[in-house]
């Protein structure tokens, strides 16, 4: 793989504040970032965009409620000098690892206390950043909650909840297969190929302009066009359309929008500090597979909810079994054929990535370096937002995964 660091502006040179993106009233043409021309997705413009999605596309709020924010007691320590040995054998500091992977914000919790917090570029503590596919893990957790409530049956066919999908590839899939992404679908997710289906999904969910002269289907209509390829239930294959179908199941089973469901079942009871928001399609429907924007602290709070098996802010927010099932993971044999070189022995369960390592770590992952890393043995949570120039996490993992483990060992020591 080509090393992007040798070909692309580094974190300091691509700093959006130093460059001056979107400054002035209005900003000059050479510093403007817009939706219509797609510049918001280009690097280094994305170093500003991913902290300002609400200024680019339509969104819907996730209300934090009227109560006070839950406390995050501080016991700060400088983790920057912690030594990290990368997957290619280099020794660097944790601070250098953050710079190499274009971190925008990071919060580290240890035993529920905030021990490290840093922001870079355009991000600030009160500003939400897009989570990309970290969003999926929220959707999967909400699905687990509705399963525990008896509102969703994982063994039921998808069409029991969303009959519109009967004619397409999801027509004979079960809810559980969608939750664990073991569906066999004719759908490609190659972030470097504009002809890949992920680009069509982005047009449907509102994160890319429609093709010129082509009427754009809204999200549900687009999902009905996905065909079947292979058998359901055999192997894991990472395809975002699964999560968007799962989000439709949640809406139908609960009678609530995804934003209302997240607000009432997680965001309000955990005592979020700020409202979150989703980007939406042309009908105002949230992107359940990649559209959630939160502050870094609130992402860490959610991680602490998971680490404490659904308990936080003085209450049991959802049943322990929801978090326990996720932490146990799925079947590594079904995961292995996907060929993730940086994730040997991992599995996928309910929209979460599970390491099966000695610490029992599991995580939410999103393109361009978004991460929520939960280490039960180290009693640690790391929430990290980023704007890496390369979408796939193969560009982050060789540095970020060893960095998380190095911090865990340091805190345990």
Q: Position of tokens 């409530």? A: 149
Residue 168 and residue 225: Cα distance in Å, rounded? 6
- Contact (CB, 8 A) for 319 and 148: yes
- Contact (CB, 8 A) for 354 and 362: yes
Residue 141 and residue 212: Cα distance in Å, rounded? 37
| H or E segment to which residue 100 belongs | helix 94-100
- CA-to-CA separations, 166 to 162, 171, 187, in angstroms, rounded: 8, 4, 17
- Contact (CB, 8 A) for 340 and 346: yes
Which residue out of 14, 46, 70, 133 is catalytically annotated? 133
Question: 65: helix, coil or strand?
Answer: coil
Whether residue 44 is preceded by a cis peptide bond, meaning omega within 30 degrees of 0, is: yes
133 is catalytic: yes
Of 281, 294, 213, 289, the residue nearest 57 (C-alpha): 281
| HSE toward the beta carbon, residue 271, CA cutoff 13 A | 15
List active site positions.
133
């Amino acid at each position: 793989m080509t090393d992007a660091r040798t070909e692309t502006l580094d974190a300091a040179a691509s700093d959006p504040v130093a460059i001056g993106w979107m400054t002035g009233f209005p900003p000059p043409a050479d510093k403007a970032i817009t939706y219509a021309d797609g510049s918001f997705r280009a690097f280094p413009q994305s170093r500003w965009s991913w902290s300002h999605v609400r200024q680019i596309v339509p969104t819907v709020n996730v209300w934090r409620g009227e109560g006070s924010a839950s406390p995050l007691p501080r016991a700060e320590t400088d983790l920057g000098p912690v030594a990290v040995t990368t997957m290619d054998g280099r020794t660097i500091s944790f601070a250098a690892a953050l710079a190499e992977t274009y971190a925008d914000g990071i919060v580290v919790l240890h035993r529920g206390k905030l021990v490290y917090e840093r922001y870079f570029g355009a991000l600030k503590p009160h500003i939400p950043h897009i989570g990309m596919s970290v969003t999926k893990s929220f959707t999967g957790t909400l699905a687990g909650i509705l399963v525990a409530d008896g509102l969703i049956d994982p063994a039921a066919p998808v069409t029991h909840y969303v009959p519109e999908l009967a004619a397409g590839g999801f027509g004979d899939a079960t809810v559980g297969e969608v939750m664990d992404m073991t569906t066999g679908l004719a759908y490609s997710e190659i972030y470097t190929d504009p002809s890949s289906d992920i680009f069509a999904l982005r047009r449907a969910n509102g994160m890319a302009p429609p093709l010129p002269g082509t009427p754009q289907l809204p999200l549900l209509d687009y999902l009905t066009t996905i065909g079947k390829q292979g058998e359901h239930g055999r192997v894991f294959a990472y395809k975002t359309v699964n999560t968007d179908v799962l989000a439709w199941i949640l809406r139908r089973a609960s009678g609530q929008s995804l934003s209302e469901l997240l607000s009432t079942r997680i965001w309000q009871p955990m005592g979020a500090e700020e409202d979150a928001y989703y980007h939406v399609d042309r009908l105002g429907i949230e992107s359940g597979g990649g559209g959630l924007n939160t502050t870094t602290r609130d992402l860490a709070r959610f991680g602490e909810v998971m680490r404490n098996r659904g308990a936080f802010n003085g209450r049991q927010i959802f049943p322990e079994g929801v978090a326990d099932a996720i932490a146990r993971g799925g079947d590594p044999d079904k995961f292995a054929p996907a060929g993730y070189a940086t994730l040997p022995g991992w599995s996928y369960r309910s929209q979460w990535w599970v390491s099966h390592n000695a610490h029992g770590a599991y995580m939410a992952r999103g393109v361009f370096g978004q991460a929520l890393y939960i280490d039960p043995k180290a009693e640690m949570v790391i929430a990290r937002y980023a704007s890496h120039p390369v979408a796939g996490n193969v560009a982050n993992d060789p540095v970020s995964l060893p960095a998380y483990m190095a911090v865990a060992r340091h805190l345990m020591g």
